[in-house]
């Protein structure tokens, strides 16, 4: 089947670099003779017919903007038979021949299920600050989120050193410790707590007390949100060591901001590749960066739990602090 009209949508959590990806899909798609529709608020927009045709001008000036001009939303309705049926009806009504789904593993799981049921060609563009797409090294937004968190930790380090205090800094990562591991290493932090590894708070406190005895008075511990709440961990450290411990939650600041050059470059290249895949008849795949090149990973593989090289990260953190 010849592809004539495609639709782009951003789903799940936003990631800096989604806008450059949209821009790439629209402008390259038009360049290839396609009509490109924009779906607003992800799957919700397909269910409720919130979409419109996009032109070169529609995506002008967005390459450096964080977030997504198409908006995004969590859509529980898409998990229902009725919701999926209504989305399919919208696709048929607007003569859409293929979807470019810009999002993370939850978005790809939904796209995989939708393709299996209705056979609407779907290609995923990996955009997730957690970098949790299996089979892919780097996703859109990860580099920006890491640099945002790292900038904050560098500033906290100034205060921790000046006031000789312990800080527990909570970063995003409900199911993945990638951001926490990366910023802990790059920020010269003393310890990191992640959901993939059992927390030994007694060992952490022992190291803090030992360091204090030999003159190390400041300490930064990075915790991924999925491993625990920073405030609770800080209270526990204070209780066990008798040393004043402060907590900082970086939260959603990591999702926003102007995408870095790395995030933009990945986004622009993956957007183009997604259009090429649909034109070539490829479907049910996620695109991302692995080994320095764009790779195609089938959705079924992409949505599996991604294994992190935790030992390598943790050993380096311990060795270099």
Which active-site residues does the annotation give?
A: 130
For the chain, what is the total number of helices (H) and then of strands (E)? Answer: 11, 11
- CA 148, 127, 41, 280 dihedral sign is positive
User: Cα separation of 141 and 184, whole Å?
Assistant: 18
DSSP string, 190-206: SEEE-TTS---HHHHHH
Residues near 294 by beta carbon (within 8 Å), at least 6 away in sequence: 269, 270, 273, 287, 288
CA distances from 290 to 136, 142, 173, 293, 294 (A): 5, 14, 21, 6, 6
* Angstrom distances, CA of residue 57 to CA of 30, 40, 280: 12, 17, 26
Token output for 272: 């183009």
DSSP annotation of 167 reads: E
Closest CA to 204 of 171, 241, 173: 241
């Amino acid at each position: 089947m010849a592809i004539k009209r495609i639709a782009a949508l951003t789903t799940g959590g936003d990631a800096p670099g989604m806008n450059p990806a949209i821009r790439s899909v629209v402008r390259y798609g038009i360049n290839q003779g396609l009509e490109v529709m924009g779906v607003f608020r992800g799957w919700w927009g397909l269910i409720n017919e919130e979409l419109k045709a996009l032109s070169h001008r529609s995506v002008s000036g967005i390459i450096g903007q964080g977030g997504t001009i198409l908006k995004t939303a969590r859509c529980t309705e898409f998990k229902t038979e009725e919701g999926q049926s209504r989305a399919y009806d919208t696709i048929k009504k607007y003569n859409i021949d293929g979807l470019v789904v810009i999002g993370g593993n939850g978005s790809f799981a939904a796209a995989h299920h939708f393709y299996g049921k209705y056979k609407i060609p779907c290609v995923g563009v990996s955009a997730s600050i957690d970098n949790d797409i299996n089979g892919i090294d780097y996703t859109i937004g990860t580099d920006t989120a890491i640099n945002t968190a790292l900038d904050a930790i560098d500033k906290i380090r100034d205060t921790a050193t000046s006031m000789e205090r312990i800080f527990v800094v909570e970063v995003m990562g409900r199911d993945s410790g990638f951001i926490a591991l990366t910023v802990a290493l790059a920020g010269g932090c003393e310890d990191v707590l992640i959901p993939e590894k059992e927390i030994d708070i007694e060992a952490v406190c022992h190291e803090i007390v030992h360091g204090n005895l030999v003159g190390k008075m400041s300490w930064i511990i990075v915790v991924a949100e999925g491993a625990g709440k920073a405030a609770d961990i800080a209270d526990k450290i204070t209780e066990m060591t008798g040393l004043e411990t402060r907590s900082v939650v970086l939260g959603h600041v990591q999702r926003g901001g102007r995408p870095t050059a790395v995030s933009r470059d990945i986004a622009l290249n993956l957007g183009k590749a997604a259009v090429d895949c649909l034109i070539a008849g490829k479907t049910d795949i996620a695109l991302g960066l692995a080994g320095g090149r764009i790779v195609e990973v089938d959705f079924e593989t992409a949505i599996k739990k991604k294994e992190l090289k935790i030992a390598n990260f943790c050993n380096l953190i311990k060795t270099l602090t």
